[in-house]
Amino acid sequence: MTDRERLQRKLAEQKARNIIKKIRSVQIIGQETCALPDHALLEKLGFYSQDKKPDSAIPESTDLQEIIDRMLSLLNDESGEIFFLLIYGVIYKVRFTDRAAALRELWTAPEAGRYICLINEDKTVLYEFGSDSRDEDNYLFDKYQL
C-alpha cells in the first residue's frame, strides 16, 4: 500500500467514524480488519448484476417511517443488536441500541447518501438498502446469503 493509499484509507476511516459517532443509537464496538466478501463471491451472488431483482423496492417519494419499516421487516430474521456496518469502504462492528432509531439516523445522515450496507453478526447475510442504478426511481432493498 502506498503512502497515498494509506492516507486515503485513514481519511475514509475518520469520515466513517465521524458519521457513526453522531448517531446516538449506534455504538462502535470495533473496526474490522477483514475485507468484504471477496469480489468473486459477491459476483456469484448477483451483487453487481444489473439483472438481479431486488428483494423489495419502494418509491423514493415514500415517507421516512415507511422506508424504515421496510428495512425493519427485511431485518426481521435478525434477533441480535450487533452488525457489521460498511461505510466509506470501512467495516465497523456496531451495536444498535435501538434498531429503528439507528436505521433512521443512518438513513438520514447527509454524508451517508441514503445507503446502508450491513452484515449480520455471524457474517452469513449481507443487507443492502438504498439507491441503485438498477432502478433510478425507487430505493432497493437486497438480502444476500454469504
**Given this model, what pLDDT does residue 95 score?**
94
Alpha carbon distance 75, 8 (integer Å): 32
**Given this model, what pLDDT does residue 59 score?**
95
Strand partners for 144 = 126
Longest dimension (CA), the chain: 44
**Given this model, what pLDDT does residue 108 score?**
92
**Given this model, what pLDDT does residue 63 score?**
95
Q: Which helix (H) or strand (E) holds 138?
A: strand 135-145
Alpha carbon distance 24, 22 (integer Å): 6
Q: Which helix (H) or strand (E) holds 24?
A: none
* Residue 102, all three cell numbers: 439507528
Residue of 133, 71, 54, 78 whose CA lies nearest to 106 = 71
Whether the CB-CB separation of 70 and 60 falls below 8 Å is answered with: no
Cα 71 to the chain's mean position, in Å?
11
Kindly give the parts of the chain with pLDDT less than 50.
none
Residue of 79, 75, 82 whose CA lies nearest to 29 = 82
Q: Quick check: pTM over 0.75?
A: yes
* Residue 75, all three cell numbers: 431485518
**Given this model, what pLDDT does residue 58 score?**
94
Whether the CB-CB separation of 102 and 96 falls below 8 Å is answered with: yes
